[in-house]
Amino acid sequence: MRYLLSSFCLLFIACGSYSKKHDFQIVKSLNSRIRNSYFSDESKDYVYKANITVYDNDFSGIFIVKKIGEANHRIVFTTEMGNKVFDFSFIDDTFKVNNIIEDMNKALLINILKKDFTVLVKEKTTVIKSYSLQDTLVYETVILNKKYFYFKTQQLNKILRVASGKEKVTFLFSEINDTIAHQINIRHSNIKLNINLKLIN
């Protein structure tokens, strides 16, 4: 009986919410939406030197994000010689694969990239709850039926996808100048997928 009670206690703790585990303090916020401005300028081509590691495969090249219109982005990843690795379109809530190489043309991987890049370019997201963590404001959101936390000090510097109280995907934005993040890292904790971007223009 004692062992059973201990097991239930451990299960309860393990299933606790991420916000409680990390001592987030609920705050009232006037913001009904959190804004990600890093790919919001239609006049710019956002060009990054990219390294993408998928399981045991490494892909290096040029990663380009272009805002074409309201809630309309195009993401293209090419080799340095100009050969396309993938080409995706995001329009409102729709996603289209324009092109992808055979080595990456796997339904599971495409779905993961769809989720990651939707979060990367989505400008306005509805806030469910607001928290404070020391000098950081944290906003809880849902995108594509997945829970995310946006961390903001002066600028948005981190996004976490969380499931079962655990971090699944981490987006880190650094070397931020106004509305441009010069360094972006997307790291998955449960699969071997890392995306590193460094601005080159």
The 8-class DSSP code of residue 110 comes to H
Measured CA to CA, the distance from residue 117 to residue 119 in angstroms comes to: 5
The structure tokens listed for 67 are 């805002």
CB-CB contact of 86 with 100 (8 Å): yes
The predicted-structure confidence for 127-141, as pLDDT tens digits, reads as follows 999 999 888 999 999
pLDDT for res 5: 42
Q: Where are the domains of the chain?
A: 17-192+194-198
pLDDT for res 87: 98
Is it the case that residue 40 has pLDDT exceeding 70? yes
pLDDT for res 201: 67
Measured CA to CA, the distance from residue 119 to residue 123 in angstroms comes to: 8
The predicted-structure confidence for 66-104, as pLDDT tens digits, reads as follows 999 988 999 999 998 889 999 999 998 899 999 999 999
Query: What residues does 92 pair with on adjacent strands?
Result: none
The structure tokens listed for 190 are 């449960």
> Confidence class of residue 165 from pLDDT cuts 50, 70 and 90?
confident
> Confidence class of residue 164 from pLDDT cuts 50, 70 and 90?
confident
pLDDT for res 24: 80
Q: Tell me: domain 17-192+194-198, CATH 2.50.20, correct?
A: yes
Is it the case that residue 59 has pLDDT exceeding 50? yes
pLDDT for res 8: 40
Closest to 183 measured CA to CA, from 89, 54, 67, 49: 49
> Residue 8 is inside which H or E element, if any?
helix 2-14
**CA distance to 74, 106, 113, 114, per residue, from 87 (Å):** 7, 14, 11, 11
Is it the case that residue 1 has pLDDT exceeding 90? no
Give the lowest-confidence range in 16-20, 149-153, 179-183: 16-20
Higher pLDDT, 32 or 88: 88
Measured CA to CA, the distance from residue 43 to residue 98 in angstroms comes to: 22
pLDDT for res 4: 43
